[in-house]
Amino acid sequence: MTPNRELLQATACAIVDRLRSGDITPFDLLDTLEARIAEVDGKVNALPTLCFDRARAHATELMKKPVDQRGPLAGLPVPIKDLTAVAGVLTTQGSPIFKDHVPQQSDILVEKLEANGAVIYAKSNTPEFGAGANTFNEVFGATRNPWDLSRSSAGSSGGAAAALASGTAWLAHGSDMGGSLRNPASFCGIVGMRPSLGRVAHTPASKIDRTLGVQGPMARNVEDLALMLDAMSGEHRADPLSLPALPTSFLSAARSGTMPKRVAYSADLGITPVDPEVAKITKQAAERLAASGVIVEEAHPDLREAHDCFQVLRAFDFAISKAALLREHRDLLKPEVIWNIEKGLALTMGDIERAEAQRVAMTARTLKFFETYDLLLAPATIVAAFPVEERYVAECAGKKFDNYVEWLAIVYAITLVCCPALSLPCGFTASGLPVGLQVVGPPRGEAQVLAGAKMLEDILGVRGTTPIDPRSAAQPR
C-alpha cells in the first residue's frame, strides 16, 4: 500500500474539516498512516507499538454517531506516549520491568481524547520512565531524528516529535517535567507545548498533587497544536488539580491575531551556557517581532535558584514514584534512574523545605516580571540535536555539567515557575538542524502564548517544513 501524500502533508485542522464534511473517513487516515509507518518508521523508530485493529474498531463505533457528535477531532488518529496507559495496548514506560505490561484501563487523558474524537493507533517511544532528554530504552531501542538519523530526537516525548516530523502523525500526545514536550519539538522542528498545571487532566499516580510533570500537545504548527490542546483540556473529578475548560477555545486564541506589546528575550535566562549558534538564531527570531511594532528587550526573571530547586524537587518526585522499583528491580533500571531515586531517598526535610521556598520565591518574581512583559522568549534547547549515541549533553560552550539533567535548565526553570511554554521552530543551524524558540507566558496564559506563537510563526515562515522523509544526514543551509 502507498501512503496518500496529499493527506500526509495536510494540516490537522484541514484533515478535521474534511472529516466533518465527509470527504474522507478515519479509515482513509489509518490506511495512510499504516502505509507511511511501514515506509519510514523502520529508520526512525518513533512508534514501536501499533494498535490498528483497536483503532479501526473504535473508528467504526465513532462513525455510527452523527458528525456533530464526533468531537473536535472528529476521528483524527493520535499516538499516545508510552508512559500513559491505553487499555488493551502494550504500555512499557520504556522499561524492561514493564516490557509485557498491558493495562486493562486507560488513563483518563486517553479517555478524554477518545471522547473528543481521537482514534488511538500507536504508542510513541520514550526513554525509561521518561528520564533523560534522549529517547532510547532497553525495550525498543533509540528513536532517531528524521532531520539526521545519526542524531537524537531528544526526549522524553521524542517518539511523538519524530512521528510528527516524519509524517506518521498529524497530532501527538506528550508529557513534560524538565522540557519533555519542548526539547523534542526543538530538535525535530515541530511545535510542543507545556500547558499550565491542571490544564490537562490525567490519572494521578504515586502522589495526588505532583506539580512538576504535565501532559500536553504536540503538532506541526501552532493552530494544530491549539486544536489538540482543546481536545485534551478540561476538568475531571479523578484529578483534583484539573481545571475546567475555558469558554473560548485555544484554536480561536491562536487565530485571534492578538499582538503582544512588549516581549523579553533572553539567550540563557541567566542560568545556563548556550551554544553560540543557537543563541544567534533564537535572538534573530525574537528581533523579527520588532519590525511588527512589538517592543523587544533583553530581560528575564531572576531564576538563580533553579538548579538547586529542580534537582531537589525532581529527586523527591523520583523517590516517591519509583523507590519501590529500585527495591524490587534495581538490576533492570538504567543508571540515571537509579541515581535520581537514590538522590531523592537521601534528601532531608531541610532540603525539601529549602527547595519549596525557592520555588515560591522564583514564581513570585516571575509573576512580577509578567506585569511588564507579555511574553518571554528564549532558546528551547541550548544545543541543536546531538549524536544519538550520546546519552545526554555533558558539556556546552566550555561548561561541563554535573549530571544528566543540568543541560535542561533553560526549560526546567520555566517548569518551576508554573508557566505555560511552547517550542516553536525558528530556524536552522548551518548544518541544517532545526532550532526551537521557547515562547513563555504567565501562569494560565496559554491563550496569549498561542496567539504570540502564531504571530511569530507567520513572521518567521518556518511553518510547513515538516513532514519530511528521514534523512541520513542533515542538509546544510
- Cα(128)–Cα(111) distance, rounded to whole angstroms? 24
CB 448 within 8 A of CB 374: yes
The answer to whether residue 123 is catalytic is: no
Active-site option among 166, 180, 196, 266: 180
CB 91 within 8 A of CB 105: no
Beta strands in 282-420 (DSSP E): 295-298, 375-379, 395-396, 399-400
Q: Which residues pair with 427 in a beta bridge?
A: 435
- 86-107 in b/e form (b: 16+ CB < 10 A) is bbebbbbbbbbbbeeeebeebb
Q: Residue 265 burial (CB < 10 Å; 0-12/13-18/19+)?
A: buried
Q: Which residues pair with 428 in a beta bridge?
A: 434
The number of C-alpha atoms within 13 Å of 107 and in the hemisphere containing its C-beta is 23
Conformational region of residue 45, where left means phi above 0, alpha means psi within -120 to 50, and beta covers everything else: left
- Cα(284)–Cα(408) distance, rounded to whole angstroms? 22
The answer to whether residue 81 is catalytic is: yes
Residue with cell 528575550: 265
Q: Which of 145, 150, 179 is nearest to 162 (CA)?
A: 145
- 32-50 in b/e form (b: 16+ CB < 10 A) is bbbbbbebbbebbbbbbbb
- Cα(324)–Cα(142) distance, rounded to whole angstroms? 26
Backbone angles phi, psi at 78, to 5 degrees: -140, 130
Written as one string, the DSSP assignment of 3-14 is --HHHHHS-HHH
- Record the cell numbers describing residue 310, joined without a space: 529542580
The answer to whether residue 233 is catalytic is: no
Active-site option among 95, 106, 156, 196: 156
- Cα(398)–Cα(403) distance, rounded to whole angstroms? 15
Positions annotated as catalytic residues are 81, 156, 180
